[in-house]
Amino acid sequence: MFNYLEPPNAYYEFEKIYTAQQWAKKQRWITDYLTQHAPDVIGFQEVFSIDSLKELVADQGYNYFAVVDTPEVIDDFIYRRPVVAIASKYPIVEVTAVEHDSELASTLGLNSEFTFSRKVLRATVTLPHIGNTDCYVVHFKSKRSMIEVDEHNKELAPEQNIIKILKANVAGGWGSTIQRGSEATLLMIQMITRREATQQPMLLMGDFNNELADGVLSHLLTNTLRFAPAFDAKTYLAKYCLNDSWDLFVKSQLSIVEVSSDEAITNDVQSDCDSSNSEIADSADKSQVKNINITKPALLRAPTHYYGASSSVLDYILLSCEFDASYDDSFFEVSNYNTYDRHLINPEYERDDLTTDHGVVLVTLKLRS
């Protein structure tokens, strides 16, 4: 939401206050997105004005809304530490803040004061066909250094000042990485524990502030076990694993196979999308095939965040096996994946100057045919 705070309150510093016109423009941008895309369940980050957001989404048909924390207020009107929230068109039957396993945290070398940098929200939403589903909303620790220094210390020589800043960036950046990775690990453990107790489907969404491929968060997609009995792992593991919705979408796409023979035939065959081979299914009448051209869809994942000349995917929706079409007992498949980024790559000032600094990820699920 990028500092969603209703005036005359200020975010972080006393002069950072939206004018009435700016606030109306920010509200309008959110409303326009909801009107155009009409998602059924939404996870929000960087929420300061909880009541205002609840009212805004209620006007758009979201009768269910929840938070599990409140922002910190200093000097009566300066806000910091925004919270996450969830809105749904379907009933939310249970809401809680996820509590980490403090004994496990100690085993991992974390001190007794460890907490999530933002409280993790778990809402159980009654979705059509599949029933109660545990939806987790997160905003993991950013890469910003945990150690703050005065970057313009006039008491130090220029070289000394640079050295001090360098040390702070190296140590503070690693501290943030430890925090972010620990948050993801401890959350995943609680998700597995919850899954074991309830057997309910799982959905994890939010700003991860890290790419999943990075080793810091890659354990969120753990799908293999070392030394475990192979048969047991294959039988039970998938039920407790998460899948990147982008990967599920890619797997669901079909390649077009154009077969030239005495009579032109066009077939759709399942594409691996991760393989470069072009084998034809045995069911094809190979004796009739003269030329085979396999065209795989150009599937390129759009970044969700830009920083200078670089870009990355920081925002994700992860799904349990009930949403994986390759899983025998799944209910749904990911039929579409969209990253709304017009305000980032082709902004118009009047429309986009008070939006969000992230792309908005939207996943469409449909019942398996």
Name the pLDDT band for 288 (thresholds 50, 70, 90): very low
Mean confidence (pLDDT) of the chain: 88
Task: Give the model confidence (pLDDT) of 311-341 as tens digits.
Answer: 999 999 999 999 999 999 999 999 999 999 9
Rounded Cα–Cα distance for residues 269 and 283 (Å):
11
How is 219-283 classified by DSSP, letter by letter? GGG----SSS-HHHHHHHGGGG--EEHHHHHHHH-EEEEEEESSS-EEEEEE--SS----PPPTT
Q: If we measure between CA atoms, which residue out of 310, 266, 315, 314 comes closest to residue 292?
A: 266
How far is CA 249 from its chain centroid? 15
Task: Give the model confidence (pLDDT) of 206-256 as tens digits.
Answer: 999 999 999 899 999 998 898 889 888 888 999 999 999 999 999 988 533
Strand, coil or helix: what is 316?
strand
